[in-house]
Structure 1
Amino acid sequence: MFTKLIKKFKGKEAPVVTTPEIMGLRLGASFELDPLAIRLILDELTIESCSPTQIIKAVGVVELDGTWVYRFYTDDDAWLQVVAEGGQSDEHVVDVKLFHFYDTQDVSSQQVWDTLLKEKIGAANYQLDDRSYSRVWTSTGDYHNPVHMAEKTYEEGGDFSQTDQFTMLFERELSDQRTESLFLSAEEKEENAGYLSRSLVISTGITLTPSQLTIHG
């Protein structure tokens, strides 16, 4: 009897984890940027450099009532965000942005966390490196409560994790009528050891058009 049970369990295959993908972007794939997309405005951006070819090392997805936010984390300390509305096919894509991480700040106390969520992240303006960014998401009042996003992130090797994020999007105008985006995310995650870690993640980025992006599957 026990021999049969052992054979039964041995014969079972581990469930296949399906990682998110869209536009040919997926875990392990790469993409190339049109060099001019960055070069012409690099002096105005917060970042100092941007690799023209980037390899996707992790993939995250957020579901928001009919909107899907895909994030493809790369080897350039960057992440490509693809937003799809009304469906998850390529034709539903409405926005593509390339962000680079600017800073990650540890949040060490409940007081600091509460101040971030109630006073800072949703303010009408945000200063970074003597640059002023205006909040994109509108509110009836001066302050906009951060938008909650629960992101499930998949990494190479089959590992995955979930992070609660309280977010806000800002932008400022550049000389060529494009904008530089600023994305703030107060993040909390339950670690394997059982404790809750919190941090403020600051990223800056630009919007890309389909002609500025070549995807290699």
Structure 2
Amino acid sequence: MFTGLIDKLKGKRTAAVKTPEIMGLRLGASFELDPLAIRLILDELTIESCSPTQIIRAAGLVELDGTWVYRFYTDDDAWLQVVAEGGQTDEHVVDVKLFHFYDTLDVAGQQAWDRLLQREIGAASYSLRERTYGRVWTSAGDYHNPVHMAEKTYDGDGEHSLTDQFTMLFERPLSDQRTESLFLSAEEKQEQAGYLSRSLVISTGITLTPSQLTIHG
């Protein structure tokens, strides 16, 4: 009785924070890539290198209608995205992609932000380093409004942050019949100092099969 009262008075946390976890992927875990999965196509990819072993430093989760998007951020300036549909167990996983951050661009001013969301991010194609990617998500018109995702991201201490993301996915073919993905995310975040930061985060990645990924819990 007294212990519980003291804990309340001190504001002591009595329950561990539950962070995103699926397929054995979680904060502090690591995974290995089949070297051939990258080596055979590395010359065609936007990235110049990829570590075969990566440690998860942060984990995020986006909840959509019947779909959960898990993101595991690594020490290789990369993030592994796992999409589950209809449930949150391993058997519900429908897609796994490994992305690397390409660039983060500050968006200054409301006009620039509106132009990005209303005319740029959802165009039919996007060019990066003289490579053209076609939009994956279809629309009845030429322009596709960005898809909103609210991500809750946890760091190694269990602290979390919230980010509003307005996203679009593109891809281009590779020589081995796979594709390189391009993920654009226009992000808004309320900073601790009280101001709203906005940026365009550009990432490129590839789809992985279960045989190309070994997870170490």
* TM-score (ref. length: structure 2): 0.96
Aligned-residue sequence identity (percent) comes to 83
Take 1:101 and 1:169, find their aligned partners in 2: how far apart are those partners?
14
Take 1:118 and 1:140, find their aligned partners in 2: how far apart are those partners?
15
Matched, 1:82 2:82: yes
Matched with 2:72 is 72
Take 1:33 and 1:23, find their aligned partners in 2: how far apart are those partners?
15
CA 1:114–1:90 in 2, change beyond 3 Å: closer, same or farther? Answer: same
CA RMSD of aligned residues (A): 1.6
Matched with 2:30 is 30
CA 1:158–1:206 in 2, change beyond 3 Å: closer, same or farther? Answer: same
Equivalent residue letter for 1:158: G
The 5 Å alignment of 1:60-139 reads 60-139=60-139
Take 2:114 and 2:147, find their aligned partners in 1: how far apart are those partners?
15
Take 2:7 and 2:103, find their aligned partners in 1: how far apart are those partners?
51
Matched with 1:142 is 142
Take 1:59 and 1:200, find their aligned partners in 2: how far apart are those partners?
20
Matched with 1:16 is 16
Take 2:132 and 2:13, find their aligned partners in 1: how far apart are those partners?
54
Matched with 1:192 is 192
Matched with 1:180 is 180
CA 1:10–1:107 in 2, change beyond 3 Å: closer, same or farther? Answer: closer
1:125, CA displacement in angstroms? Answer: 0.3
Secondary structure of 2:91's aligned partner: helix
Equivalent residue letter for 1:81: Q
Take 1:8 and 1:107, find their aligned partners in 2: how far apart are those partners?
43
Secondary structure of 2:112's aligned partner: helix
Secondary structure of 1:61's aligned partner: strand
Question: Per-residue CA shift, 1:68-122, capped at 9, x if unaligned?
Answer: 0000000000000000000000000000000000000011111110010000000
* TM-score (ref. length: structure 1): 0.96
Unaligned runs of 5+ residues in structure 2 are none
